[in-house]
């Protein structure tokens, strides 16, 4: 059994002893702590009741976890709007739609079926800051609980926000509904038996797209590993070729990550989901004479976004890894677009959260304007490959020694210390990013270069240096 408590929320496998799995006791304690943090974060005038939105993906434990979370919120005197089956971005937007004080998303994202999690939102529908998350964690571990009396329990009601979310996507200025309809696209969608099977076909239908769904029944019985990586999308790749479709679309169980398959069955590659959408929005911004051409991604994402941004005369910014860090940087620089290399598209004109629906609508708009196949579109972008490795250590104290030493060893390169150590080899247009795990005594190592072989060799080079440091 596994339970991971961090400033970004609580996640774990269902069952087991308290504190060693995601149990009812852990869920209640964390929900209570969230309520207390909400009260300190946002004092309510006139003693009005707080309101929190709760949405969930389709995983098997979802209803059980939802009952515990909703019941605890009510026991804390908080009104609850139950979204039922709802994507993560739908729940985020529901917080704004409802003018709520916060939200809790029940999803373990791309983790397998035995996992679940609580993801915590503020009154803007964005994830809590690191400081707020740390406060929730401290309160949950204190064991100091005091619930409301019977006359002060929160009310509970249900509302479906799916269509309002779709309406908001279609209303975005750069989503060209008429151009997409005129293109007559055929798209295959793999929703891995979760909530994407509800919202994605509905969105595509509104865009005039012929949609062929596979694994779209929200049973929670994931048909394959739910992380939208090429090795998990064999069925989708085969369906795209068989159906002679223009595009394959894969989403994870909570629909905040997005991966595409080209018409020939080859992966578009998750890293390029954000790159392609950013390229389109930068085109639009330049055409309209807009001056705000800032983009953001995290330090472990492809350099291609920087290249595309600078080609448009824009400025690229890198953030620490983690969605809240990306959105914080986006707010700071008033970014046009941002996200993560895992297929996460964040478009502030919609809302500041990863949203696969926004990503699909903008991607299809780009494709309709460019009038080319998906594989041809992919070929227009700078081509890089990322290798992912890690160093397993028996002593976590060695992590800091390695990172500190690498800063000195590579001091003549462009070294970024925002999050771990990122070494940019500018002359070669390559980089290596090393950062420690928050949950294990390991260093994660991402390296990018023009080819897979070169990226792997670059990672191996730095790993060898790191191993020499600790000999």
Burial annotation 341-362 (CB, 10 A radius, 16+ → b, else e): bbbbbbbeebbbbbbbbbbbbb
What is the Cα–Cα distance from 286 to 314, expressed in whole angstroms? 10
Contacts of 415 (CB under 8 A, 6+ apart): 407, 421, 422, 423, 424
CB neighbourhood size of 463 (10 A):
18
What is the Cα–Cα distance from 466 to 452, expressed in whole angstroms? 21
Residue 377: what are its φ and ψ, rounded to 5°? -60, -45
Burial annotation 139-158 (CB, 10 A radius, 16+ → b, else e): bbeeeeeeeeeeeebbeeee
* Residue indicated by tokens 């596994």: 2
Q: Are 117 and 12 in contact (CB under 8 A)?
A: yes
* Residue indicated by tokens 């309510």: 44
**DSSP string covering 80-106:** EEEEEE--HHHHHHHHHHTT-SEEEEE
What is the Cα–Cα distance from 84 to 57, expressed in whole angstroms? 8
Burial annotation 292-315 (CB, 10 A radius, 16+ → b, else e): ebbbbbbbbbbbbbbebbeebebe
What is the Cα–Cα distance from 220 to 206, expressed in whole angstroms? 25
Per annotation, catalytic residue among 8, 61, 74, 109 = 109
Q: Mark whether 6 is an active-site residue.
A: no
CB neighbourhood size of 217 (10 A):
15
Enumerate the H helices of 207-290 as residue ranges.
Answer: 234-242, 271-287
Q: Which residues are catalytic?
A: 109
């Amino acid at each position: 059994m596994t339970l991971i408590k961090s400033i970004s929320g609580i996640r774990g496998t269902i069952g087991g002893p308290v504190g060693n799995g995601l149990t009812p006791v852990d869920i209640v304690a964390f929900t209570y702590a969230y309520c207390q943090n909400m009260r300190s974060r946002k004092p309510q005038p006139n003693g009005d009741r707080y309101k929190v939105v709760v949405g969930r993906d389709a995983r098997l434990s979802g209803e059980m976890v939802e009952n515990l979370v909703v019941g605890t919120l009510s026991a804390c005197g908080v009104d609850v709007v139950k979204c039922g089956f709802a994507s993560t971005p739908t729940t985020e937007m529901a917080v704004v739609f409802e003018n709520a004080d916060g939200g809790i998303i029940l999803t373990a994202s791309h983790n397998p079926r035995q996992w679940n999690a609580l993801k915590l939102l503020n009154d803007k529908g964005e994830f809590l800051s690191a400081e707020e998350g740390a406060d929730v964690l401290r309160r949950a571990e204190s064991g100091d609980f005091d619930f409301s009396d019977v006359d002060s329990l929160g009310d509970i009601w249900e509302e479906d926000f799916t269509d309002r979310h779709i309406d908001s996507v279609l209303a975005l200025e750069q989503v060209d509904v008429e151009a997409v309809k005129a293109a007559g696209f055929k798209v295959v969608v793999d929703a891995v038996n979760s909530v994407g099977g509800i919202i994605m076909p509905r969105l595509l239908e509104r865009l005039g797209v012929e949609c062929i769904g596979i694994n779209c029944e929200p049973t929670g019985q994931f048909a394959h590993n739910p992380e939208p990586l090429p090795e998990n999308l064999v069925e989708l790749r085969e369906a795209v070729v068989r159906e002679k479709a223009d595009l394959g679309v894969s989403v994870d169980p909570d629909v905040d990550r997005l991966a595409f398959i080209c018409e020939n069955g080859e992966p578009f590659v998750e890293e390029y989901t954000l790159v392609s959408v950013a390229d389109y929005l930068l085109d639009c911004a330049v055409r309209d004479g807009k001056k705000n051409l800032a983009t953001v991604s995290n330090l472990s994402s492809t350099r291609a976004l920087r290249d595309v941004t600078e080609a448009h005369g824009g400025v690229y910014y890198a953030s620490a890894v983690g969605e809240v860090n990306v959105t914080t940087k986006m707010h700071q620089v008033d970014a046009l677009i941002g996200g993560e290399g895992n297929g996460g598209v964040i478009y502030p004109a919609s809302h500041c959260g990863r949203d696969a629906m926004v990503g699909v609508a903008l991607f299809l708009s780009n494709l309709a304007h460019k009038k080319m196949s998906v594989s041809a579109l992919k070929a227009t972008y700078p081509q890089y490959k990322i290798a992912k490795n890690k160093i397993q250590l028996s002593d976590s104290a060695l992590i800091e020694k390695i990172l500190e030493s690498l800063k000195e060893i590579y001091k003549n390169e462009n070294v970024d210390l925002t999050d771990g150590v990122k070494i940019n080899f500018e002359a070669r247009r390559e980089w290596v990013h090393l950062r420690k795990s928050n949950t294990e005594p390991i260093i994660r190592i991402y390296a990018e270069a023009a080819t897979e072989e070169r990226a792997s060799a670059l990672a191996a080079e730095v790993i060898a240096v790191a191993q020499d440091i600790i000999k």
